[in-house]
Amino acid sequence: MANQAIELAKQFDKFDEKKEAGVSLYAKRHYNITSNLGHAIGVSYIGALLTIAGADGELAEDEINWLIEEQRLFSSAPKEVLDQLAEFIRKFDWRSADLDSLLKDLKYDFPINIKHKLIYQAIKMSHADRNYHKKELKAVWKAAGTLGVPKDIVIALENLVNIESSLDKMRHALLGTA
């Protein structure tokens, strides 16, 4: 798995070096991102998300699919690079991963608070199977503590995810797609 992670990071580095990486419309609309975050960060970041969402002892297909789709929406990398990323996500050994090590490998020089984004996305991913398990919640709080994310921010991010879920349900009901 380590070799695959290194190879994936190299692919992202090549893509980023070519300066072809633009910002996706999704990243602009949903996160107000106006410059590229760099893709190589994804290996540790994605590993951390998988480890948190797997804290309950399983990674549900809905959680894995949420992460793959989120990465496809967020990135402007070529399809072949995103396909490699999807394969990495599916094969990542989250059961033996060390969350603290993954979090320490993250770099934080981005035009977004990457620590807050990781906690937000960990909560979203853990909710993707409609079962936010106590162990996932505990892993979110552990990651927040390691990253130094204040308690009030974690609570606000949890509330944001719940509000977004409620709005999705309302939209589906009002549009007759529930």
pLDDT of 19 > 50? The answer is no
Q: Give the tokens for residue 174.
A: 């009002």
Q: How many domains does the chain have?
A: 1
**61-70 long-range CB contacts below 8 Å, 24 or more apart?**
61/129, 62/128, 62/129, 62/130, 63/125, 63/126, 63/128, 63/129, 64/89, 64/90, 65/128, 66/124, 66/125, 66/128, 67/125, 67/128, 70/121, 70/124, 70/125
Is the pLDDT at 64 greater than 90? The verdict is: yes
Q: Give the pLDDT score at 72.
A: 87
Percent of the chain at pLDDT exceeding 70? 81
Instruction: Round the average pLDDT of the chain to a whole number and report it.
Output: 85
Distance CA 62, CA 26 (A): 20
Give the CATH number, domain containing residue 147: 1.10.3680.10
Comparing 13 with 34, the larger pLDDT belongs to 34
> What is the mean predicted confidence (pLDDT) over 114-136?
95
pLDDT at position 38: 60
Task: Show the domain range for 80.
Answer: 2-174
Q: What is the pLDDT of residues 72-123, one digit of tens each?
A: 888 877 888 789 889 989 999 999 999 998 898 777 666 788 899 999 999 9
Q: Which residue has the tokens 């709080």?
A: 141
